[in-house]
Chains A and B, each alone.
Chain A
């Protein structure tokens, strides 16, 4: 089954890439964009039996850096 892991910077952590994207949007004439935070989407194809605990472990040990990032994951119906 597919699992989508969303990794994002913790609130309060400066995001230079998000800021650059925001400036670029402004440069293209899009108004009203108050903030941009850039994250990462990782799609896993895992065995049905894979537990939430195992997915948590994957996120904490590799997919996210818990010093600066939060994560959440969702199972996606095929």
Chain B
């Protein structure tokens, strides 16, 4: 899609921002804007915003806690509330929960260890703007690499997420102890997705797997259809 206007936010300590930018350019044909966390404003008329993985602020206080309070996040929250699709991967997911854009929290992996491996996921909701190119129940493989990916929310919140189709992805084998094996969560409006697995690391067969590509294709297809 020509003219796909996306932005990748870089926080101090982000380390997957380049991978995300490369993935977005390869799939959409247009390079994203690179936005530094200290900026107060986003580029205008964005179609998509990505919060990348990494260790923003060295995970000080709590993973994602400092980044969630950085100047650019006020603009990201405004954009999300205005309906712009926002994807947070790994540390980006932690930033989304810390900022209140997504419910729940990401805690230390239940086994304490850093987990770095390919993870088998099940697509739970293929009706979202991030997942329309998958089918519900589809098994996909996406790599994970994190220490704090153990999704937690109270039972009432978990029930609501399940009932409202806000669980986007689930681990086939729970790699980190997440509540109900949740790997990816949508907000109620369906335009914000947070996930621990890294779809940007699985967009071409040279990566060993290209199951992540359909996520970006879904976003782009949704814009064309809109």
Contact = CB atoms under 8 A, between A and B. Distances in A.
B177 A62 contact: no
B26 interface: no
B1 interface: no
Contacts of A13: 107, 152
Contacts of B109: 16
Interface residues of B, number: 19
Interface in B146-162: 150, 152-153
Nearest to A10: B154
Contacts of B80: none
Interface in B92-114: 97-98, 103-105, 107-112
A67 B179 CA distance: 14
Nearest to A13: B152
Interface residues of A, number: 11
B61 interface: yes
A3 to B, nearest CB: 16
Contacts of A14: 107, 110, 150, 152, 177
Would you call the interface of chain A mostly helix, strand, loop, or mixed? helix
Contacts of B177: 14, 16
Contacts of B112: 16-17, 20
A16 B150 contact: yes
B65 A68 contact: no
Contacts of A67: 97, 103-105, 152-153
Interface in A1-54: 13-14, 16-17, 20
Nearest to B66: A62
A67 B154 CA distance: 8
Interface of B: 61-62, 65, 69, 97-98, 103-105, 107-112, 150, 152-153, 177
Given A13-B107, A20-B112, 14 more contacts: A16-B107, A16-B110, A16-B111, A16-B150, A16-B177, A62-B65, A62-B69, A63-B61, A65-B65, A65-B98, A67-B97, A67-B152, A67-B153, A68-B105
